[in-house]
Chains A and B, each alone.
Chain A
């Protein structure tokens, strides 16, 4: 790998720009050639294979014109949008980061969403509905509400349900959750749409402390993302 390719790759990653590093791996005499895709100068077959790999989020080997290319996918990190800068949110940050999630904390209460409580974390202090409108959760985003306050949680869940977020979770007991579903139904959300919400949030591991609850939430998000059976337990 040349320093130029390595530098271009690092630059794209820092800018959260999705790219594919294409490496020719066979035949042996041509092995080692590399391209960063998309690149208008590259063969169109290679560019379209790269965009398919990015969409599938899967690194893979492809054969084009008798040559084998390994396409290494470098998508920006998936996002974890947390509504409620509460104690559990503080516990989520150090677990979510090594799992590969970019964490964004949303809470208009500045005493909660303070840099002192969340050093080096992206904080937003606008209202959750405005924050989610700006953040536009996509298929690589998870949204978790933790405030326990319908004024903050409901608008966030409303926007999350209108997005293609791959995971939506809401903190609260079964009773709280039933009341929440009734309020969201009154906003016009269908039963099948409401079934997307994981509530009570997290895998059922009898978690008690904030870090334990954070662990159960991250575990459930991973299970859903990877298609594990346990992740489809869903939402009541």
Chain B
């Protein structure tokens, strides 16, 4: 069992894992839910860590936007520029990536330097 004297919460797990991947030489991006409206499944603060090599941990939704976030993360890793992604009914991409829950959300994507 892991160290329960210093138990991990979800976000620490993701951050610690992302840091370990970075130390191991991976190119890593971190996606964080910054705002939600309606029936979004994951609250603000939820995180998804991704690597250019295809590793993934955590979540920013029930799974419906992770693919689109992964594409944006690869772009952010390559050019170093953070992005604020907007998913929702007002955005035609919502249908494309299938935010079927009807919620709206913003996701900030940054590179781990």
Residues of A within 8 A of B (CB): 1-3, 6, 9-10, 13-14, 16, 23, 25-26, 28, 31-32, 58-61, 70, 72-74, 77, 93-94, 97, 100-103, 119-122
Contacts and interface: CB of A to CB of B under 8 A. Distances in A.
Contact of A100 (B9, B30, B83): B9
B6 interface: yes
B11 A77 contact: no
B5 interface: yes
Given A6-B19, A10-B16, A59 B43 contact: yes
B84 A25 contact: yes
Contacts of B81: 32
Contacts of B22: 3
Interface string B34-56: 11000000011100000000000
A23 B108 contact: yes
Interface of B: 1-7, 9-12, 15-16, 19, 22, 30, 32, 34-35, 43-45, 81-84, 106, 108, 110-113
**A-B pairs with lowest CB-CB distance, top 8:** A59-B45, A32-B82, A70-B34, A59-B44, A100-B9, A31-B82, A25-B108, A2-B113
B30 A26 contact: no
A119 B1 contact: yes
Given A1-B110, A32-B82, A120 B45 contact: no
Given A6-B112, A61-B35, A103 B4 contact: yes
Contacts of B110: 1, 23, 32
Contacts of B9: 77, 100
Contact of A61 (B7, B44, B82): B44
A25 B4 contact: no
Contacts of B15: 6, 9-10
Contacts of B6: 14, 16, 102
A28 B110 CA distance: 12
A225 to B, nearest CB: 13
Contacts of A59: 43-45
A32 B43 CA distance: 21
Given A1-B111, A25-B84, 13 more contacts: A1-B113, A3-B22, A10-B15, A10-B19, A23-B108, A25-B82, A32-B82, A59-B45, A61-B34, A74-B12, A97-B4, A100-B7, A122-B4
Nearest to A6: B19
A100 B1 contact: no
Given A13-B12, A23-B110, A58 B44 contact: yes
20 contacts: A1-B110, A1-B111, A9-B15, A10-B15, A25-B84, A25-B106, A25-B108, A31-B83, A61-B44, A72-B32, A72-B45, A94-B1, A97-B2, A100-B7, A102-B4, A102-B7, A120-B1, A120-B2, A120-B3, A122-B5
